[in-house]
Amino acid sequence: MIVKNDKISEIINGKRVITKKPELLAPAGNLEKLKVAILYGADAVFIGGQEYGLRSNADNFTLEEIAEGVRFANKYGAKIYVTTNIYAHNENIPGLDKYLKGLEEAGVTGIIVADPLIIETARRIAPKLEVHLSTQQSLTNWKAVQFWKEEGLERVVLARETSAEEIREIKEKVDIEIEAFIHGAMCIAYSGRCVLSNHMTARDSNRGGCCQSCRWDYDLYKLDSGKEIALFDENDAPFAMSPKDLNLIQSIPKMIELGIDSLKIEGRMKSIHYVATVVSVYRKVIDAYCADPDNFVIKKEWLEELDKCANRDTAPAFFEGVPGYKEQMFGVHSKKTTYDFVGLVLDYDKETKMVILQQRNFFKPGDEVEFFGPQIENFTQKIEKIWDEDGNELDAARHPLQIVKFRVDKEVFPYNMMRKGH
C-alpha cells in the first residue's frame, strides 16, 4: 500500500504532483559509461578512482578522467560521487590525503565512505566534498543514522536489509538524506560483514578483492556423533546462497512517497548497454510517477525493457519483506542474456537515412535489430547492406569498434544504441 506524503507533493491545477523528485543515481565504470548514464537520464553518477574503491578489477578512473567526467556532468547539471568505501588497513593510510585533495580539486560533489579514517581525513583535507556513508557500514536503524548525522554526514546509504517500514521510521526520526538501492546485484551478507573471500582465496573483500564465494556451490552436512550426514538428496541442487539481483521497479512509487532522496542503481562493472537500459527505464518510471501519481501505472514495456539487459533473475529483496528461497538461485550459474548490444550510433544523415555506427558485437545483413535511446521510441529495423567507412560493402560487421554504415528508416541520434535478440 502506498501512503501519500504531503511533504513531497503539491496540488497544482487541482492535480497532485510530486515536487520533490528523488535523484536517480547510476554507476559508471569508465568515462564512456559515465556519459551514457547522464545522457540516458541519470541525475548523478558514482564512479571509482584508482584507489580506495571496492572494485579493484574494474577500469576505474584516473584523476584526469574524473575531472573530465565532472566537466561533462556539469554541462547537464549532473553530480559525480566517487566511491572510497574500502575498510582501510594501516598500509592504505599514506597517500589518502593526496588522493582526497585530488578528488576535491577535480570538482566531484561527494565521496561514498565506510571507514571513519576516510570520513575524518576528507573533512580535514577536502572539506568541500560531501561525505555519504556507504552501505558497507550496514546501517539498519534510525539511532545509528542519528549518530552519523551528528558526525556531520550529508547522506547515508542504508543497508540492503532495511524494509520500507524501517526506512519510513528512519525518515521520520532523522533529518538526513537517504540513499537506497533500487536495482542490481547485491551481497547476500550484511555488507562489510563478509570475509569469505579473505578466507577462501586470500583476497580482501573489504578492499575490493571480493571473489564472490557466495555464488559458489557447497554441500550441507550435519555432524552427528562424529558421523557426517548429508542434508541433501541426490536430486537436490547443492546448498547455495546466491541472491537474485535486486529489482524494485514496482516499488518506485512507494520509495518516492517515503521521501527517499536518492535511488541507486548498482553496477560499475556493467556494460554501457546495461547502464543505458536500466537508467532510461527508471528515468521514465520516476518522471511518470512524479508528473501524475494518481494515474500512474507501470507499463509492461518498461518491464520488458529491463529484462533485455538482465544478467540474472530479479527480486525485490528486503524492501518488500523478508526474502525466502525464491529470492535465491539454486543450481544456476550461467548468466542470462536475451539481447546483445551490437552497436553504438555515432551519427545519422537525415537526407540519406544512413547511420554511422560503431560495432560492439557481430551482426550481418538480414538481422533484425532494435534501436533505443533517450530521444526515440524503441523500434526494430531489418538490416540490409552494410558498408565500411571507405564505402566497401561488407558481408557482416565482424570487428569490434569497426565503423560501419547502413540504412536506418527512422531518425537516430548519437549515443543511441542498437541491440539484437538471441
Partner 1 sequence: MKKPELLVTPIDVAHIRDLAEAGADAVMIGEQRYGLRLAGEFKREDIVEAVKIAHQHNVKVYVAMNAIFHNDKVDELGDYVKFLADTGVDAIVFGDPAVLMTVREVAPHMKLHWNTETTATNWYTCNYWGRKGAKRAVLAREINMDAIIEIKEHAEVEIEVQVHGMTCMFQSKRSLIGNYFEYQGKVMEIEKRKYEKGMFLYDKERDNKYPIFEDENGTHIMSPNDICIIDELEEMIDAEIDSFKIDGILQEREYITEVTKKYRLAIDLCAENREEYRKVKDQLLAEIEEIQPKHRPLDTGFFFKETVY
Q: Hey, which residues between 8 and 27 contact partner 1 (CB under 8 A)?
A: none
Q: Which residues pair with 180 in a beta bridge?
A: 263
Q: Which stretch binds partner 1 (CB under 8 A): 15-23, 282-290, 322-330, 351-359?
A: 322-330
* Closest distance to partner 1 from the beta carbon of 8 (Å): 21
List the one residue from 202, 234, 297, 392 that touches partner 1 (CB under 8 A).
202
Residues within window 52-71 making contact with partner 1, judged by CB under 8 A: 56
d(CA 304, CA 310): 10
Quick one: 43 or 161, whose CB is closer to partner 1? Answer: 161
Q: Which stretch binds partner 1 (CB under 8 A): 103-111, 195-203, 269-277, 283-291?
A: 195-203
Integer CA distances (angstroms), 245 to 197, 208, 280, 315, 325, in order: 20, 20, 18, 6, 13
Residues near 260 by beta carbon (within 8 Å), at least 6 away in sequence: 22, 167, 171, 178, 179, 180
- Note whether 161 binds partner 1 by CB under 8 A: yes
Q: Which helix H or strand E contains 38, and what residues bound it?
A: helix 31-39
Residues near 262 by beta carbon (within 8 Å), at least 6 away in sequence: 22, 23, 24, 25, 44, 155, 177, 178, 179, 180
- Note whether 209 binds partner 1 by CB under 8 A: yes
Quick one: 204 or 313, whose CB is closer to partner 1? Answer: 204
- Note whether 90 binds partner 1 by CB under 8 A: yes
Which residue is associated with the grid cell 560499475? 268
Residues within window 173-192 making contact with partner 1, judged by CB under 8 A: 188-190, 192
- Note whether 393 binds partner 1 by CB under 8 A: no
Binding characters for partner 1, 247-276, by CB under 8 A (x = yes): ------------------------------
- Note whether 312 binds partner 1 by CB under 8 A: no
Q: Which stretch binds partner 1 (CB under 8 A): 99-107, 226-234, 290-298, 365-373?
A: 226-234
Which residue is associated with the grid cell 584523476? 63
Q: How far apart are the first and last CA of the chain?
A: 38
List the one residue from 17, 63, 125, 196 that touches partner 1 (CB under 8 A).
196
* Closest distance to partner 1 from the beta carbon of 93 (Å): 6
d(CA 420, CA 279): 19
Quick one: 1 or 325, whose CB is closer to partner 1? Answer: 325
**What are the grid coordinates assigned to 339, written together?**
539481447
- Note whether 116 binds partner 1 by CB under 8 A: yes
- Note whether 335 binds partner 1 by CB under 8 A: no
d(CA 20, CA 23): 9
Quick one: 167 or 272, whose CB is closer to partner 1? Answer: 167
* Closest distance to partner 1 from the beta carbon of 337 (Å): 25
- Note whether 234 binds partner 1 by CB under 8 A: no
- Note whether 141 binds partner 1 by CB under 8 A: yes
List the one residue from 16, 123, 203, 215 that touches partner 1 (CB under 8 A).
203
Q: Which helix H or strand E contains 119, and what residues bound it?
A: helix 116-125
Instruction: Render 248-289 in DSSP notation, one character per residue.
Output: -GGGHHHHHHTT-SEEEE--TTS-HHHHHHHHHHHHHHHHHH
Q: Under rule CB under 8 A, how many of the chain's residues touch partner 1?
A: 71
SS3 143: helix
* Closest distance to partner 1 from the beta carbon of 150 (Å): 8
d(CA 104, CA 297): 42
Q: Which residues pair with 354 in a beta bridge?
A: 349, 407
- Note whether 3 binds partner 1 by CB under 8 A: no
Q: Which stretch binds partner 1 (CB under 8 A): 215-223, 251-259, 346-354, 412-420?
A: 215-223
